[in-house]
């Protein structure tokens, strides 16, 4: 039987509690161990600062959506006692807002229509724009792209410190709305993070380079950028991220304590034998008290042998 609760529900924080964080999964698959780590890390980062933790479903890409995945992700978070604050935001309900923001950027002279292929764009050198920039193309068969003036090459990460990108690794073009008329991730995420008052974006390190684009958009919208914090990515073997695309297994909710213990271990928190016998809620309460960014392995990739075995996740 689990021992009595040893930790208060919430760490006593003397700050204003103005932290607002979020978890923003896309429903292109069910929650796997890697996304559980990100959810848990962002939850602990918010709750250890007496902050809010919001949930946003990034469902702006219907062709990639898996039926039932949004509900399944939410049920999985609840099963792990990762309860979000406020109403869930669905990006699919916000197309008017995204169009309005593209209109604003267009009025600022910061957009252009582009018909280049991905190959054409990747062949561009740092700082070089494609020929479409000056052609005033019509909207048909065109993506709406952001017109860069000042490309960021580095930013400060709360976990990784200064992150610098060599010029050859920085794509100079990004879309706001794709040729297929779907809104681009970069636009939607920044518009929503601003609108939801997010003070820190805590997510997986696979999105490190997206930060450069997003900083450019904050500047274009004349809004202060939030802090950024990128957690190590769970990989199954060197260089291979555990993801929906490589068929990561859905998190099994029959043993949430083991999942939490494994995810906490990945984030640098080891539990004693006694703690491992506690309830999921008590384990989370302990983790909120113990949460410390300095304990997280400060690298973008971590290999966890347990994760390579499908049965364990
Ligand atoms: Zn072009």
Residue 14 lies in a domain: no
How far does residue 178's CA lie from ligand 1's centre (Å)?
12
Long-range contacts of 237-243 (CB under 8 A, 24+ apart): 237/303, 237/308, 238/301, 238/303, 239/301, 241/34, 241/206, 241/301, 242/32, 242/33, 242/34, 242/307, 243/32, 243/34
How far does residue 113's CA lie from ligand 1's centre (Å)?
7
pLDDT value, residue 143: 96
**pLDDT class for 126, splitting at 50, 70, 90?**
confident
How far does residue 152's CA lie from ligand 1's centre (Å)?
21
pTM beyond 0.85: yes
pLDDT value, residue 19: 97
Residue 9 lies in a domain: no
Q: C-alpha 307: how far from its chain's center? A: 20
Burial of 68 (0-12, 13-18, 19+ CB in 10 A): exposed
* Cβ 292 vs Cβ 220: under 8 Å: no
How many angstroms separate the Cα of 285 from the Cα of each of 146, 171, 296?
43, 42, 18
Residue 109 lies in a domain: yes
How far does residue 182's CA lie from ligand 1's centre (Å)?
17
Residue 4 lies in a domain: no
How far does residue 179's CA lie from ligand 1's centre (Å)?
11
How far does residue 131's CA lie from ligand 1's centre (Å)?
6
Burial of 193 (0-12, 13-18, 19+ CB in 10 A): buried
Q: C-alpha 31: how far from its chain's center? A: 13
Question: Per-residue pLDDT tens for 158-216?
Answer: 999 999 988 877 777 889 999 999 999 999 999 999 999 999 999 999 898 899 999 99
How far does residue 132's CA lie from ligand 1's centre (Å)?
4
Cα angle 300, 182, 108; round to 5 = 90
Residue 63 lies in a domain: yes
How far does residue 26's CA lie from ligand 1's centre (Å)?
28
How far does residue 100's CA lie from ligand 1's centre (Å)?
23
Q: How many domains does the chain have?
A: 1
Strand ranges, E, within the chain: 20-23, 52-57, 89-90, 111-114, 143-146, 154-157, 161-164, 175-177, 200-204, 227-231, 233-237, 240-241, 301-303
Q: Residue 101: how many CA atoms within 13 Å on its side-chain side?
A: 26
Mean confidence (pLDDT) of the chain = 86
86's tokens: 């406020």
In terms of residue numbers, what domain contains 274? 20-307
Q: What is the rounded distance in angstroms from the CA atom of residue 55 to the CA atom of residue 86?
A: 8
* Cβ 39 vs Cβ 23: under 8 Å: yes
Residue 66 lies in a domain: yes
CATH code for the domain of 205: 3.40.50.620
Question: Per-residue pLDDT tens for 44-70?
Answer: 999 999 999 999 999 999 999 999 999
Residue 265 lies in a domain: yes
């Amino acid at each position: 039987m689990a021992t009595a609760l040893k930790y208060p529900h919430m760490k006593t924080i003397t700050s204003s509690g103005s932290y607002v964080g979020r978890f923003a999964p896309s429903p292109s698959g069910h929650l796997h161990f890697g996304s559980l780590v990100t959810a848990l890390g962002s939850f602990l980062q918010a709750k250890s600062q007496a902050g809010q933790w919001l949930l946003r479903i990034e469902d702006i890409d219907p062709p990639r959506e898996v039926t039932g995945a949004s509900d399944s992700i939410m049920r999985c978070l609840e099963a792990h006692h990762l309860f979000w604050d406020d109403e869930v935001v669905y990006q699919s309900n916000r197309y008017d807002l995204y169009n309005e923001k593209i209109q604003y950027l267009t009025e600022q002279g910061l957009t252009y229509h582009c018909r280049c292929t991905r190959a054409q764009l990747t062949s561009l050198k740092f700082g070089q724009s494609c020929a479409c920039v000056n052609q005033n193309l019509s909207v048909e068969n065109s993506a709406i792209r952001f017109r860069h003036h000042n490309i960021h090459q580095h930013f400060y990460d709360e976990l990784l410190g200064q992150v610098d990108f060599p010029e050859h690794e920085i794509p100079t073009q990004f879309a706001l709305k794709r040729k297929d008329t779907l809104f681009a991730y970069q636009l939607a995420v920044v518009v929503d993070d601003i609108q939801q008052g997010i003070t820190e974006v805590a997510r997986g390190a696979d999105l490190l380079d997206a930060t450069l684009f997003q900083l450019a958009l904050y500047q274009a919208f004349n809004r202060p950028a939030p802090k950024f914090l990128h957690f190590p990515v769970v990989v199954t073997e060197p260089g291979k991220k555990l993801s929906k695309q490589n068929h990561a297994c859905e998190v099994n909710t029959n043993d949430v304590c083991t999942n939490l213990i494994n995810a906490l271990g990945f984030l640098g928190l080891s539990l004693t034998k006694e703690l491992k016998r506690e309830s999921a809620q008590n384990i989370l309460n302990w983790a909120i008290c113990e949460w410390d960014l300095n304990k997280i392995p400060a690298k973008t990739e971590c290999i966890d042998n347990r994760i390579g075995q499908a049965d364990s996740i």
